[in-house]
Amino acid sequence: MTRYKLTIEYDGQPFVGWQRQDNGPSVQGALEAAVTAFCGEEAQVQGSGRTDAGVHATGQVAHLDLVRAFEAGRIRDALNFHLKPHPVAVLSVVEVAADFHARFSATRRSYRYHIVNRRAPLALDLGRAWFVPQPLDEEAMNAAAAHLIGRHDFSAFRAADCQAQSPIKTMDRVTVTRSGDDIFIEAEARSFLYHQVRNIAGSLRLVGQGKWEADDIARVLAGKDRRRAGPTAPAHGLYLTGVAYD
């Protein structure tokens, strides 16, 4: 049995999410079907974490075990051939140790939330960014985001149906930058709560619109009440951009 690490990108629009489900196509299901079509094995593709319906990835990581050993480049090319026409691409495949685990071996995950801030509607980024036509102050948003860095109880930014055992997480980085009409919220942590980044994005938008002050983020964080935070930003603006391992 040989274990392989896959780095994957995908457009989340046609999928019910990463995880295989009965109610529609999933990224995991598409990959597992491609594995079977390639070599006849029914291997489980274990991801570093689940992404919701509509969420994209430029650096998702997964692993799988195959009874028969193959050259890594051959696996990459074969999977990409059999993944057509799904908007999923295997960027790289490497052989790893048997104790490597895409989820449990991960030491850091990185997400990016993409906002397009302009009056004109979206054409190319439709379904791949959050369209916000009202002016946003990205510097105020970035100042507010700084309050989220460090170890905190993130109950205020946690989905009601989050299954994590604890709301306490350590955010290593949260920044907001602008490039033209594009605003990017970048977040890094070992792990995240369900909807945490999307709930943060929804709250930071209120700061950008001038409805909240930067210090209001700190107040909401300390209050630990989801009802006092901003709305959940749409899934289609969120990207899993990378997973790091020691």
Bridge partners of 189, per DSSP, are 109, 171
d(CA 80, CA 83): 5
Whether residue 77 lies in the annotated active site: no
Which residue is it, tokens 């990108």? 9
Q: Do 188 and 225 touch, CB atoms closer than 8 A?
A: no
Question: What residue type is assigned to position 99 of the chain?
Answer: D
Q: Which residue among 11, 52, 125, 153 is the active-site one?
A: 52
Start-to-end Cα distance in the chain: 23
Q: Which residues contact 181 (CB under 8 A, 6 or more apart)?
A: 116, 117, 118
Give the phi and the psi of residue 20 in degrees, each rounded to 5.
Answer: -60, 130
Query: Which of 127, 129, 157 has the alpha carbon at shortest distance from 218?
Result: 157
Supply 48's token pair.
């570093």
Give the residue numbers annotated as catalytic, written as ranges: 52
